[in-house]
Amino acid sequence: MADYMSGGIRFSGLSSGTDFDSMIDQLKKVESIQMNRMTLWRADWQRRVDAFGTINTEIKAFQDTVRSMDTMNKFLSKAASSSFDTVASATTDVAATEGVYKVEVGQLARNAMWTYNDGFSSTTAKVNTSTENQTLQYTYKGKTRTLTVAPNTTLDGLVNIINTDPQNPGVKAALIKNGDSYHLQVRGMDLGAANSLTIGAGTNLSAIQGTPADKWDVQTAQNAMFRVNDWPSGSFIESSSNTVTEVIDGLTLTLKDVGTTQITVASDKEKIKEKIQAFVDGVNTIRTTIQNLTKINENATAKDPNETGSQFDAEIGSVLTGNYGVQLLSSRLKMAVAGRADGFDYYNTANGGSGDYYSTLAHIGILTVADQGDTRNGLLTIDMDKLDEALTKDPNAVAELFAADNIGATDSQHFSYYSQVKGITKPGIYDVKYDVDAGGNIINARIGGKPASVDPETKQITALTGDARGLIVQVNNLVPGSYSDTVRLKQGKAGQMDGVLKDMLSSEGTLKIIEKNYEKIMDGIDKKIERETNRIIRWERTMRLRFSRLEATLAQYNGQMTSLENQIKQLTAK
């Protein structure tokens, strides 16, 4: 039978045995072209979403990094070493001043302890061998306890009676083994001379007596006695504890033995450098990812758009090349790194120096590589020699550059920074102006260019409005005249960066807005794909009905053809 052609699809040997399923499948491929294009289009948008997801993950990781160093206590690592650690050791916090401290220990604080000299052969030996109740009496920290000890109570039992007494004022009983014998020991749990302990004369146990005193080995409670840098001369500082926290600012001393040692406090520069390196690495990780997702490969060969599965194969750019959202993120990160830290002022050497010695990352050797031919172009790099020099000169200033947490400062000789309201007062540099009249009254006060209130009793000026709201300065000079200067509320690069990252990650931040926009686009594509899928289902149903009717028609024609052929054969045979 003749062949039939239609619309570029070949039908051969039409009959009731024709493979209509194959025909429909071929036609369905043509009908599905638009849906397939939309599916590929959606996949391209998903690649963009995934790319932003990668950036989002790295920003969160960097946020954890900056939050681990956003206060002076977190950032500025100081270490204390002892020339004789067996005499005393020390730990530091950020308030500790670098230097060497001589510590002389005269005696250690200790607790009161009474140990019975007579030993017992076993822990089950009886301490009350009578047939009546007896007592154990002691006084600790001024509180007397008289405990009832029943007949046949053992040494173990007595220890239990003391320790489980609900009104126990703070003693602990124990058994000390010496050779083959056991000795009862009762000790106060608190150090210091005020925590005395005595076993009273009211103790009348058969095997343990309160008196005479030689029945007991007694350790008297006492205070620690020490001096720092030979002060006080001729006497000692006393402490009820061997851990001392209020003698040297920022230093906790642990007294261990009688003797003399030198405690040296110094900044742990290596740990500080590790934190700075972590900051730089975090910035570079995000910058590298953005560079990779937005770079243009001039050597790439763009394919024919009609022969690619993705629009990105038809371009020499990357997934996010030219994306405004990425450009905005990159710009904000660069601005947070560059320039002065919030509330910092450039250092001025005039008149003995004013401002902040280090106010930008460049001041301590952190720069952006600008050489186009350098593989690190656009990334931060650290000049370690310059950083070492900065840490040697002023480690505290380096720490403030990264970790100042609303630290107030002023170079004025007439007023001083007093306080601010955390979360309300914003970091920055604010002008302070005021007059002092002939009566020593503060008038015409302004902070940040706005009128401020004056407390005539405390001589304090408080900002009421604007970014400086809640900032308070203390006026120290009440000589009549007009005065003006600046006060700085400083926030380091870590806190500044945390604010930028927090905004980026917020529900109204750049990343979330882009994500929502892309989700809307993909939702729209999904709806189109759904409509196209339903159309193809309806189309396929219609086509199968049509082909089934065609098959019925062909079967009818085949039957008629067979009948005619039979008739022709009969005529020919005659």
Answer whether residue 510 is part of any domain.
no
Q: How confident is the model at residue 488 (pLDDT cuts 50, 70, 90)?
A: very high
pLDDT digits (tens, 9 = 90+) for 393-451: 999 999 999 999 999 999 999 999 999 999 899 999 999 999 999 999 999 999 999 99
* 338 shares its domain with 445: no
Answer whether residue 518 is part of any domain.
no
pLDDT digits (tens, 9 = 90+) for 117-128: 999 999 999 999
Answer whether residue 194 is part of any domain.
yes
Cα dihedral 330, 336, 337, 340 sign = positive
* 342 shares its domain with 387: yes
Answer whether residue 60 is part of any domain.
yes
| 3-state secondary structure (DSSP) of residue 288 | helix
Among candidate residues 491, 516, 551, the one where a domain is terminated: 491
Answer whether residue 277 is part of any domain.
yes
Q: Which residues, at least 6 apart from 214, have a Cβ–Cβ distance to it below 8 Å?
A: 117
Domain that holds residue 417: 406-491
Answer whether residue 526 is part of any domain.
no
Q: How confident is the model at residue 277 (pLDDT cuts 50, 70, 90)?
A: very high
Q: Does pLDDT of 341 surpass 60?
A: yes
* 339 shares its domain with 396: yes
DSSP 11-63: E-S-STT--HHHHHHHHHHHHTHHHHHHHHHHHHHHHHHHHHHHHHHHHHHHH
* 172 shares its domain with 56: no
CA nearest to 402, candidates 323, 470, 327, 493: 493
Answer whether residue 521 is part of any domain.
no
Among candidate residues 439, 463, 491, the one where a domain is terminated: 491
* 310 shares its domain with 251: no
Q: Total structural domains in the chain?
A: 5
* 72 shares its domain with 82: no
Cα dihedral 67, 70, 71, 73 sign = positive
Q: Which residues, at least 6 apart from 81, have a Cβ–Cβ distance to it below 8 Å?
A: 263, 264, 266
CA distances from 318 to 9, 156, 292, 313, 503 (A): 39, 80, 8, 9, 26
* 119 shares its domain with 201: yes
Beta pairing partners, 238: 225
CA nearest to 317, candidates 302, 301, 297: 297
* 301 shares its domain with 372: yes
Degrees, nearest 5: CA angle 406-407-408: 110
Q: Does pLDDT of 371 surpass 90?
A: no
Say how far apart CA 330 and CA 312 lie, in whole Å. Answer: 22
CA nearest to 290, candidates 337, 335, 331, 330: 330
Say how far apart CA 471 and CA 420 lie, in whole Å. Answer: 4
Say how far apart CA 515 and CA 348 lie, in whole Å. Answer: 46
* 400 shares its domain with 305: yes
Among candidate residues 198, 232, 267, the one where a domain is terminated: 267
Cα dihedral 321, 325, 331, 333 sign = negative
Answer whether residue 122 is part of any domain.
yes
- What share of the chain in percent tops pLDDT 90? 60
Q: Does pLDDT of 85 surpass 80?
A: yes
* 359 shares its domain with 418: no
Look at the block and give the residue holding tokens 């009948």: 563
CA of residue 195 relative to chain centroid, distance: 43
How much is the pLDDT for 140? 97
Q: Does pLDDT of 528 surpass 50?
A: yes
Q: Does pLDDT of 3 surpass 50?
A: no
Average pLDDT in the chain: 88
* 398 shares its domain with 480: no
Beta strand ranges found along 150-293 (DSSP E): 171-178, 181-188, 197-199, 216-219, 224-228, 237-239, 243-244, 251-255, 259-267
pLDDT digits (tens, 9 = 90+) for 43-73: 778 888 888 888 889 999 999 999 999 999 8
How much is the pLDDT for 109? 97
Say which range, 40-44, 289-293, 475-479, 483-487, has the weakest mean pLDDT.
40-44
CA nearest to 504, candidates 285, 277, 292, 336: 336
* 499 shares its domain with 400: yes
Q: Does pLDDT of 4 surpass 50?
A: no
How much is the pLDDT for 386? 96
The model's pTM is 0.69
